[in-house]
Chain A
Amino acid sequence: MGNYSFNGGIVIKNSYLVDKVEIVQASLPKKITLPLQKFDGKAEPCVSVGDYVLVGQIVASIENGFDVSSHSSISGVVLSINTQDIAHKSGFKFQCITIKSDGEDKWIDNKAGNVDFLHYSKETLVGIVQKSGIVGMGGAGFPTHIKISNVLNCHTLIINGTECEPGVMCDDALMQFYPEEIILGIEILLYICGADRAIIAIEDDKQAAYQALLTVNRNDKININQIPTKYTSGAEKLLIKALLDIEILSGGFAINEGIICQNISTIKAVFDAVINHKPLVSRIVTVTGNSVYPNNFEVRLGTSFEHLISMASPNTKEHKYRTGGMMMGIDIVDINMPIGKTTSAIFVNNKVPEPIVQECIRCGQCSEVCPIGLLPQQLYWYVKSKNFEKALNYHLPDCIECACCDYVCPSHIPLVSYFSFAKMFSKQQTIEHDKVNTARERFKYREHRLERNKLERAQVMLDKKKVLKEKMVKEQFQKQKITEAMQRVKQEKDKI
C-alpha cells in the first residue's frame, strides 16, 4: 500500500486550528429530541407519552428496513411523539420522540465488563452492533450492522480518520484520547468481517493522533497510513483510490471490491457497544467558527444545537450556523433542532454579506478541482438551460456534491445547488416517467384483456352454436328416422 492520489480536490488552510485538541463533557440538556427516520423504513416508538425512560433504553425499535433503533440519551419522561424539523438536507419533517430530563442521568442496567469479544460468534456481535443503534457517524449515517453483516470476500477494512473538512476535529480528538479503544474496536470489526487487514487513514496534519495510534498499535494486521491533507480525501471512493489505487466503478459499492470503510467515531461506538455494553447515546461534536473558541464536546444525542452553542459561549452578535462542515454541510436557521448521530461539527460564524453571483466565464477552474473529473461549467450550462438529458450525459449523477467547484468559482456561482436540484429533478422525472410507463402498460394490458375476453366469449358462442347445430342435426336425423319408420309401417300396412 502506498500513497496514491486522485485528480482534483483542493487544499484548504485550516483556519480554526487549535494548539491542543480537547474533549469537554457537555452538560446534560433539559430535553432531547430523537428523530426516528433516516433511511428506508421507520423505527416504531415502543414507549408512549408520559412513560419514564432510562439512559440507554430503547425508545423506538425497527423490524425491517435500513434504520436502526433509537435509545434515550437521558433519563426522564416522554413529552411528545410527533413530527418535527431536523437538520437534514431534504428539509422534510421527521417523526421524533421528545424526552424531558429528570436531571438524574440514571442508566439502564448494562452488564459492563471487559468481556473478551472472541467468545462471541460473529452473528452475536453483529446483533450487538444492531441493538446499539450504531450508524456510520461520518456523515451518511448508513447502518453499520448492514455494512458488516453477510460480507463475503472482504479483504480490507479502511478506517477513515481523514476528516478532510477544514475545522472539524472530533475524529482527531477521538484518536488522540481513545487510541486503545479504537485499535480494539478495529480488531472487533476485523473479526466480524473476516478481513485480512485494516488501514487507518490519517491526514498528515494530525501528527498527535498518528503518534497516539502508532504507540498503542501492537496488531500487525492494522496499518496506520498518513495521506496528504487535501479536501475530499475523506470521500469513501476517493480515499480507496488514494490508499489502494482501486477505482470503484460509478454506481458500484466498495464492498464489490472487498473493501469496507468505517469512520473513526463509528469504531469507537462499536467498541462501546461490544465491550462496555453501552448503546450509542452520545457523540463528539466540534464547535468551531470565528465566533467561538473551537472545541470538542461530548454531547448526548438529541441535544439542541442551541444548548451546545451556548456552552461554547459565542458573543451576542448575529451569527450564521452551519452543520456538517464548511464545504458539504448545510446551513441551519433554527438552532433548536437536535444533534443527531451524524452531526460532526457546528460552525458558528459572524454574518457576512453574501458575495454577488456573477456570470460564468467558463474559466474552467471548477473542472480542474473536481475530484470526479466532471465539467461543472458545462453541467451548469445545461442545468441552467433545463437540458437535463444533456447534463446526465455529462455524468451529473456522479457528482459527489463536495463543493470544491463552489469554493474556487471566481463568479461565486452556487454550482452544487444547481446540481443537487437537477439530480432531484431528474430523479423526479424518472419517477414520473416510470409512472406514465406503468399506466401505459396497465392500459395496454386492459385492452389486451378486453380483447381476449371478447375472443373467449366469441369462442364460447361458437361452441354453443356448434353444439346446438349438432343437436339440431341429431334431432333432424331422429325425425327422419321416425318418418322413415312411419313410412315403413305405412308401407307394411299398405301391403296387408
Chain B
Amino acid sequence: MMRQVIYALSLGIVVSYYFFGWGIVLQIMLGVITAVAVESAFLALRGRDIISSISDGSIILTAILLAISIPSIAPWWVIIVGVSFAIIFGKQLYGGLGNNLFNPAMLGYVFLLISYPLQMSTWPINFLSFNQALEVVFNLSNIDAISGATKLDEIKNSLSLSSSIQQLEIHFPSQAWINVGFFFGGLYLLFRKIISWHIPVSFLVGIVITSVLLWISNVDLYIPMQNHIILGGTMLGAFFIATDPVSASTTLKGRIIYGFLIGVLIVIIRTFGGYPDGIAFAVLLMNMTVPLIDVYTQPKVFGQ
C-alpha cells in the first residue's frame, strides 16, 4: 500500500526534477538512507523486528515526503536532521507505525522550518545539473544566483510592499506543473482505491471556499482562488499528506470535516501567517483534533 503511494508520487517528483534538477534526487536519497538507518537503530533499541517494519515502506514514504517538501538545494544536514526528528519524535516515541498522533513528515518539516528558516526558504530558480546540485547540497561552493524565494512568499512580500494583486505578474509554470504532477499521482491513488475521495475533495473545497470568500472581501488584497490551488504544496497536501491514514480521521464523516478544515486553515495561514506555506501547520493542527472528530462522527450502527 505504502509502495503504491510512492509510485504515485513519482510523477510529481519527475516534474520537480525537470524544473529544479538533481537536487531533489539527492534529497530523496539522503532522506531514505537516513530513514532506514535511524529506524533500524531505534527498532534495535526497542528490540523489535527490523525487516518487517522497514519493508512496510512507511518510513521510506515519510522520508520522500519530507525530502520533496523542503527546498531541493537545502544543505545535506537539513534533510538528515529533519528525517531523524520525524522518525524519532514523530513516530517511534509514540510506539511505531499506527500509534503516532501527528503526521511524522509534517512534524519534521515544521521542526526544520522553525529551526532553520533561512535554509528552508531558498528555492532553486532553474535546473541544476548533478554536479551543481552536489556542490550546493554539500556546501562545496556557494551559488547564489540559482536561489530565490517561493512564489507564495514572493506574492506576500510584494503585497506587503502595497502593490495590488493585479499589478503582480502571476504566472508560475514550474510550481503549477509540479502540482499537476501530484494531482495525477493522486488520481492514480483514488483509482487504485488506496485513498478515499473524502479527504482530498473536502480539502480542496475548503481551500476554494475560504479563498473565494477572502478574495470577494477584497479583490486587491488577497490571492485569487486558482493561485491557491496551483501554488505551493496544495496537491501534494491534498492527496499525499492529509490522507496519511494513521494521523487522519477514520470515519467517513470525520474525514470530510478533517479535510475541509485543513483547507480552510491553509488559506488562513497562507494569508495571515508569517510562513510561506501553511500545509504543515494546518495538518498538524487538525491531527490534534482527530480523536475528538472520531468520537463525534461515529457511523450509525445497524439496529441501534
Contact = CB atoms under 8 A, between A and B. Distances in A.
A366 to B, nearest CB: 9
Contact of B1 (A362, A363, A367): A363
Nearest to B304: A250
A252 B303 contact: yes
Interface in B75-109: 96-99
Q: What is the predominant secondary structure among interface residues of chain A facing chain B?
A: loop
A251 B56 CA distance: 40
B293 to A, nearest CB: 12
A359 B98 contact: yes
A363 B97 CA distance: 12
A373 B301 contact: yes
B251 A375 contact: yes
Contacts of B250: 362-364, 367, 375, 377-378
Interface in A246-291: 247-252
Contact of A371 (B96, B97, B302): B302
Contacts of A360: 98
B147 interface: no
Contacts of B196: 364, 368
B131 interface: no
Given A363-B1, A367-B251, A375-B250, A237 B299 contact: no
B119 interface: no
B148 interface: no
Interface string B233-262: 000000000000110101110010000000
B98 A356 contact: no
A328 B177 CA distance: 50
Contacts of B304: 249-250, 395, 398
A361 interface: yes
Nearest to A363: B245
A6 B96 CA distance: 36
A247 to B, nearest CB: 6
Contacts of A310: none
Contact of B302 (A358, A363, A373, A378): A373
A372 interface: yes
Contacts of A177: none
Among B52, B196, B304, max chain A CB count under 10 A is at B304
Contact of B303 (A237, A356, A375): A237
B103 to A, nearest CB: 12
Contacts of B294: 375, 378
B302 A398 contact: yes
Interface string A376-387: 011000000000
A358 B99 CA distance: 13
A214 interface: no
Interface of B: 1, 52, 56, 58, 96-99, 196, 245-246, 248, 250-252, 255, 294, 298-304
6 A-B pairs closest in CB distance: A250-B303, A359-B98, A363-B245, A364-B250, A372-B302, A373-B299
Given A361-B58, A373-B300, A398-B302, 13 more contacts: A6-B302, A237-B302, A248-B303, A249-B303, A249-B304, A250-B303, A356-B52, A359-B99, A360-B98, A362-B250, A363-B245, A364-B196, A372-B302
